[in-house]
Amino acid sequence: MTVSRPIFLLSLLFLLSVSWEAASASGSGSAHGRREKFLQCLLHNSHPSHPISTAIYTPNNASYSSVLQSYIRNLRFNMSTTPKPLVILTALHESHVQAAIVCARMHGLQMKIRSGGHDYEGISYVSEVPFFILDMFNQRKINVDAQTETAWVQAGATLGEVYYRIAEKSKVHGFPAGVCPTVGVGGHFSGGGYGNMMRKYGLSVDNIIDAQMVDVNGRLLDRKSMGEDLFWAITGGGGASFGVVLAYKIKIVRVPEVVTVFLVRRTLEQNATDVVYRWQQVAHKLDEDLFIRLVLDVVNGSQSDGKTIRATFRALFLGDSARLLSVMKSSFPELGLVQSDCIEMTWLESVLYWTEFPIGTPTNALLSRTPQVLTHLKRKSDYVKKLIPKAGLEGIWKKMMELQVPALTFNPYGGKMGQVPATATPFPHRAGNLWKIQYATNWNQDGKEQANHHIELTRKLYNYMTPFVSKNPREAFLNYRDLDLGINHNGKESYLEGKVYGIKYFKGNFKRLVQIKTKVDPGNFFRNEQSIPVFP
């Protein structure tokens, strides 16, 4: 994939400059009036060889609803009361992205950018103000070059497609990114991106070497032309505050031909507390080839009416089972891992295993864009920097059994995560973190009442966890979007509102993100409920 610069761009830029006054008058007029002007602008700018009309969906088009729903990944936002976009533009060409930005700016229309649609708070396709969606799912080319160990990946590709296409070219390469195969590259990479190889290779953003994006002036940029500041910002600071990412160039990483996975479970009756306590001490210090995720949930106990806590240890080891057993014997014998727990497979098969496809599922299941499960959900995150004493764990179990939800997932850090400087990318949670917690609550019923009930239970456990997690700030992971951390109304108080969640997501890097934002998008066109604000 090479950076091409269509001549047509010149006319866009010209249009933009002559209608600067129109832009400053934007915001006036009804939403529907602005939509009509926006549509006219899109059509007017349509390039003959890439007509835009086939990419435009308004509520009048028969497939508007199915296009909208295709990438809603949280059913909490699939309700009749959920605000709907005035237009969905399913970009078929980069010129459509350029036109969307230029025309939206000119007519004062809020743009939401959606790639895979996995944002936990739906902010890529929902807004409280009139808006349209720039939908990137058609931009999904993946170009792997095993020789140079690199790949160009477009924003609308899914992680499953990325993994599959890498493995197609090479059995000894992979990429460190998320576990769920339907997650989109656009949101995932721009927000950090972590998965079960992070202790060995870091985050997705630690392995990005170039990018293509369209900025607020409709210019097509690559790393060289955007400069190191902006490149830094879109490798962890969230793309949506800075522009539309078209593609990333990644460094693919080496994986062995055979990897080993295991899943071991312990309930409280099987000494889960002791084993979890020990996990806390060792998981972040283990051999970097070994990643052991710990999931804690409430299940029925052995007594007829009793509940218990189930600790699930799910691992990926970048090596064979013999070496894994010796690593476990010397560093974590308390788990009691035995040969029969270990399953050897290819790295690509381990991706399927981790996302709970049955063993033996053909690997092309990773190319499916239909999620295995769709529910209503709420997620929150925390970072842990000191061990939780046994009595603390017991208190947490008690609280979890009282609430029944959410489940907690502990993802161990250490290894490469502790070696990358906290300022290398906007993602600041590096050395000193033992693990990250995800709070996960799922439910199946529609309706505000059900949602409020489950969100409230999630907040209760989060509040209970306060003494055990990071403070000043209480840190959070951008890709685990949580609007409880603050909402930006993008009005006069935008900077102060942005600082509240910005410090939690980015710590000291927030300031540099604001500086870059102020420079590249002073008019705050690229904004959302938790975007990076400009300096007042």
Ligand X SMILES: Cc1cc2nc3c(=O)[nH]c(=O)nc-3n(C[C@H](O)[C@H](O)[C@H](O)COP(=O)(O)OP(=O)(O)OC[C@H]3O[C@@H](n4cnc5c(N)ncnc54)[C@H](O)[C@@H]3O)c2cc1C
Scanning residues 303 to 342, which ones bind ligand NAG (CB under 6 A)? Answer: 305
Instruction: Give the DSSP letter of residue 531.
Output: P
In which element (H, E) is residue 453 found?
helix 448-464
69 binds, among ligand NAG, ligand X, none (CB under 5 to 8 A by kind): ligand NAG
- Of 264, 374, 407, 487, the residue at the interface with ligand NAG (CB under 6 A) is 374
Enter the DSSP assignment of 17.
H
| 82 lines the binding site for ligand NAG (CB under 6 A) | no
Please identify, using beta-carbon distances, which residue of 87 and 286 lies nearer to ligand NAG.
87
CA 377, chain centre distance (Å): 15
Which pair of tokens denotes residue 252? 């693919």
Question: Is 40 one of the binding residues for ligand NAG (CB under 6 A)?
Answer: no
| Per-residue binder mask for ligand X (CB under 6 A), 4-23, x = binder | --------------------
- For residues 54-73, which are near ligand X according to CB under 6 A? 73
Q: How many CA atoms lie within 13 A of 74 on its CB side?
A: 22
Tell me: does residue 116 bind ligand X (CB under 6 A): yes
Q: Of these residues, 353, 383, 480, 505, which one is catalytic?
A: 480
- Angstrom distance (rounded) from CA 498 to CA 490: 9
89 near ligand NAG, judged by CB under 6 A: no
Taking the complex as a whole, the smallest distance from the CB of residue 54 to ligand NAG amounts, in Å, to 5
Residue 442 CB coordination number (10 Å):
17
Which C-beta is closer to ligand NAG: that of 2 or that of 304?
304
What is the full DSSP assignment across 49-107?
TB-SGGGEE-TTSTTHHHHHHHT---GGG-STTS---S-EEE-SSHHHHHHHHHHHHHT
Residue 53 CB, shortest distance to ligand NAG, in Å, is 4
C-alpha R_g of the chain:
23
Q: Which does 427 bind (CB under 5 to 8 A by kind): ligand X, ligand NAG, none?
A: none
**Applying CB under 6 A, which of residues 24, 54, 364, 419 lies at the interface with ligand NAG?**
54
| Distance, CA of 90 to CA of 35 (rounded, Å) | 16
Count Cβ atoms below 10 Å from residue 453 Cβ, excluding itself. 14
Measure the CA–CA gap between 256 and 260, rounded to whole angstroms. 10
Q: Identify the burial level of 487 via C-beta atoms within 10 angstroms of its C-beta, where 0-12 means exposed, 13-18 middle and 19 or more buried.
A: middle
| Nearest to ligand X of 110, 190 (CB atom) | 190
Of ligand NAG, ligand X, none, which one does residue 113 interact with (CB within 5 to 8 Å by kind)?
A: ligand X
Check binding of 205 to ligand X (CB under 6 A). no
Listed ranges 2-10, 18-26, 177-185, 465-473: which one lies at the site for ligand X (CB under 6 A): 177-185
Strands 173-174 and 253-254: antiparallel
Is there a catalytic annotation at residue 164?
A: no
Structure tokens at 336: 């009691």
Residues labelled as active-site residues: 480
Site of interaction with ligand NAG (CB under 6 A): 53-54, 56-57, 60-61, 69, 75, 78, 270-271, 300, 305, 374
Site of interaction with ligand X (CB under 6 A): 73, 112-120, 123-124, 136, 155, 178-180, 183-184, 186-188, 190-195, 239-240, 244-245, 479, 528
